[in-house]
Amino acid sequence: MSAPNETPTSAGPGTPDGGRHQASVRRRDGFRPDIQGLRAIAVGSVVLYHAGLTTVSGGYVGVDVFFVISGFLITGHLLRDILRTGRLSFGEFYARRARRILPAAFAVNILTLIAATVLMPSTELKSTVHDAIATALYVPNMIFANRATDYLAQSGQPSLFQHFWSLGVEEQFYLLWPLLLVATFALVRHRRLWLGVAVGAVAVVSFLACVRLTATNQPWAFFTLPTRAWEFAAGGLTALIIASGLRLPRVPAALAVWAGLAGLGIAIFRFTDATRFPGTAAALPVLATALVILGGAGIRFGSAEGSPSAVPTPSRWLGVAAMAFVGEISYSLYLVHWPIFTIARYAGGEGQPLSLPYRLVLLVLCLPAAYLLYRFVENPVRRSGWIAALRPSRTLLGALSCSLVVVVGAVGAGVASAGAPMSTDKVAPVAAVGQNPVGTPYVPTNIEPPLSRVGKDNPDIYGDGCHLPIKSTTVPTHCTFGSNMSAPLVVLFGDSHAAQWFPALQALANEGAIRLESDTKSGCPSAEINVDYISSAGPQSYRECTLWRAAVRARLAAAPPDLVILSNYNRPNLPHGGVPAPGAWARAVRVGIAKLPAKSAVLVLGETPLPPVTPADCLAAHLTDTTACAVDRGEALDAAMASAEMQAVRASNAQYVDLNSYICNPNTCPPIIGNVLVYRDNQHLTATFAETLAPVLGQAIRTALNRHG
């Protein structure tokens, strides 16, 4: 977000006052209404993008527009202060930033935390509390980078504070940029040319780092200041150019504004979630914004004699009343829109995606909510005479106190959520493994795993390095389990949907029934199909999967096991978008089986149910009625895909086993069977439940080995 309501002036001394041009885009006081219009475009694109309007597929670039505006305005103000006095009052600068940014941010942080405490399931509240604390301490962007957050994902359950990442970047920029400018200005002995060289060097180094890191570690490129600093620096260079007194002639200036708006239009309407971003793609909205600012600095619509401009310019339209209003409340609108959209998902039901009509209603509600925040929080504090008269030290102390209040409140919410009930007081009997299970209608006090720990109920291979994550190495792990050397050697091969069966196989290995070798990698099916993985930069080529899969097959060919067990997520992301049709998936499975050793028996485990949301979140809100969280069997299982896969497996003389009759009854797939929680998330079984199916899987293994002969 750009500095909220920072006066959008043309920057620096040497700017003509324009006194003879009453109709200029720049008023006599230097006000730039066209920059307010840019703010309106920026916040509008972000809000419409988050509302899920597909036409605004690149609306996320609005944040880049804000970064350029911030760099332009702050550099201009700092430069004027330094040139006027020869020094800079850092305390006053930071106090001014605190007055303008923090009140509205703190208000939204607190209100969001309160709404989350009331509406969100207790299973989700812990991470929300962590994010609220990170936001209060001005480092939410670092948290999301470290978490490898997929900002461009339009699915899942994002953090209520995810939009604060850009505010974290701005706050860190405000902290460091004045120090850099003052130190550089002193070193180059007040030579503005060399100051421009220094700012340009920052832009180049940061841009190169951004491009490099986008390719290797996209979340850190997306969320952190070092790889975003070039966008602020681009605005700073624009301010330095204008401050030098340079002006584009009238016609080139108008053309620059047209070109800049065209560039923004391309980015906003043509970029998608699949665009590798930020990287080189971010250069388009950044340079486009700089062009609009630079061109608008010298435009005059008419002279004293009233002669019109030779080239029509949209700068006048950027400053119309509607654009000015949205630009004026843009900061508040940015702050409120995201929690409105995300909290509504929980108010509407367990975090499920909202329908388009519902999102459109919320979109309309964002404007009055933003105006209220602007009218009663942001503007009063910004314009308060007595607050402005405070010594900078007191203002900054007040800001730290507010941060402390938010942190304490967040900790209190976390403590309260930790004490919230996660079960009824009823005990459920341990259910015998059987087909067509009847779900337990309540959350029992002896549930395993507890709802509060469901996210950690992973197979052991997730913690010991035996299961490979996306990307990472292409070298198979070949982890082995079981000490009975006379037992048949069984290899588990596939993606995370294969890894979910490891607990059952590990139990068999511990019993001595099998020797087990595990080769699994997230997002990488054992079927012969090229796939992408989804990152914050959109779909990315998963070359590591192809290499890893080939290496596993080479190992199997060199030392054929008695049995290979395959299991995969049957809806992987194809390189050109979408998921495979049943026929295409069946062919991939058939080719994958054909590339395994003929000496080895092959057992394929069918796909398990896929609930629309994480059942544990639903259960936390329905402790006494778990039927509300049961999933319709027809919706959770793709019958056409399962049938195609089964036919392909049987045509390959392999064994196909569907264990879903032990997970679902003819109508529903219950979330709790006996005292065991079935699902870890909306794609995987809990390790606890998978282990209960060890006897059934053991029988399937014996059958497959006997039939293979």
In the block, residue with structure tokens 């039927």? 627
Mean pLDDT of 302-323: 62
How far apart are the C-alpha atoms of 686 and 503, rounded to whole Å?
Answer: 9
How far apart are the C-alpha atoms of 542 and 520, rounded to whole Å?
Answer: 15
Count Cβ atoms below 10 Å from residue 674 Cβ, excluding itself: 21
Q: 515-521 and 467-468 as β-strands: parallel, antiparallel, unpaired?
A: parallel
HEC profile for 215-247? HHCHHHHHHCCCCCHHHHHHHHHHHHHHHCCCC
Determine the straight-line distance between the first and last CA of the chain, rounded to whole angstroms. 67
Given this model, what pLDDT does residue 558 score? 96
- 244: which 2 tokens? 């030098």
Q: What is the largest CA-CA distance in the chain?
A: 101
Higher pLDDT, 188 or 627: 627
Q: Which of 409, 543, 412 is closest to 470 using CA atoms?
A: 543
- In sequence order, the β-bridge partners of residue 467 are 520
Given this model, what pLDDT does residue 102 score? 93
Query: Does position 303 have pLDDT exceeding 70, yes or no?
Result: no
Do 329 and 374 meet the contact criterion of CB atoms below 8 Å apart?
Answer: yes
How far apart are the C-alpha atoms of 706 and 298, rounded to whole Å?
Answer: 84
The rounded Cα 102 to chain-centroid distance in angstroms is 23
In the block, residue with structure tokens 């709802």? 451
Q: What is the pLDDT of residues 522-540, one digit of tens each?
A: 999 999 999 987 654 456 7
Query: Does position 5 have pLDDT exceeding 60, yes or no?
Result: no
Count Cβ atoms below 10 Å from residue 366 Cβ, excluding itself: 21
How far apart are the C-alpha atoms of 468 and 148, rounded to whole Å?
Answer: 16
Q: What is the pLDDT of residues 615-672, one digit of tens each?
A: 998 898 899 999 999 999 999 999 999 999 999 999 999 999 999 999 999 999 999 9
In the block, residue with structure tokens 């491009």? 211
How far apart are the C-alpha atoms of 515 and 505, rounded to whole Å?
Answer: 9
Query: Does position 133 have pLDDT exceeding 60, yes or no?
Result: yes
Between the ranges 53-67, 459-473, 608-622, where is the mean pLDDT highest?
53-67
Query: Does position 106 have pLDDT exceeding 90, yes or no?
Result: yes
Query: Does position 554 have pLDDT exceeding 80, yes or no?
Result: yes
How far apart are the C-alpha atoms of 678 and 668, rounded to whole Å?
Answer: 13
Query: Does position 116 have pLDDT exceeding 70, yes or no?
Result: yes
- 609: which 2 tokens? 């149910």
How far apart are the C-alpha atoms of 454 and 617, rounded to whole Å?
Answer: 10
Does the pTM of the predicted model rise above 0.75? Answer: yes
Mean pLDDT of 22-26: 42
Between the ranges 26-40, 127-141, 571-585, where is the mean pLDDT highest?
127-141
Query: Does position 19 have pLDDT exceeding 90, yes or no?
Result: no
How far apart are the C-alpha atoms of 337 and 367, rounded to whole Å?
Answer: 9
Instruction: State the pLDDT confidence band at 368, using cuts at 50, 70 and 90.
Output: very high
Region of poorest pLDDT, from 231-240, 290-299, 628-637: 290-299
How far apart are the C-alpha atoms of 199 and 185, rounded to whole Å?
Answer: 11
Do 529 and 466 meet the contact criterion of CB atoms below 8 Å apart?
Answer: no
Helices 90-119 and 392-418: crossing angle in degrees, nearest 10, is 20
- 118: which 2 tokens? 């009331």
Region of poorest pLDDT, from 120-134, 163-177, 510-524: 120-134
Query: Does position 155 have pLDDT exceeding 50, yes or no?
Result: no
Query: Does position 306 have pLDDT exceeding 90, yes or no?
Result: no
Q: Which of 11, 32, 165, 166 is closest to 74 using CA atoms?
A: 11
The rounded Cα 626 to chain-centroid distance in angstroms is 30
How far apart are the C-alpha atoms of 524 and 541, rounded to whole Å?
Answer: 12
Do 169 and 224 meet the contact criterion of CB atoms below 8 Å apart?
Answer: yes
How far apart are the C-alpha atoms of 276 and 145, rounded to whole Å?
Answer: 16
Characterize 133-157 residue by residue with b for buried, 16 or more Cβ atoms within 10 angstroms of its Cβ, and e for exposed.
Answer: bbbbbbbbbbbbbeebbbbbeeeeb
Q: Which domains are present in the chain?
A: 33-88+169-351+358-382 (no CATH), 451-708 (3.40.50.1110)
Region of poorest pLDDT, from 47-56, 385-394, 635-644, 653-662: 385-394
Q: What is the pLDDT of residues 462-507, one digit of tens each?
A: 988 899 988 768 899 999 999 999 999 999 999 999 999 999 999 9
Q: Provide the mean pLDDT of the chain.
A: 88
Given this model, what pLDDT does residue 213 score? 92
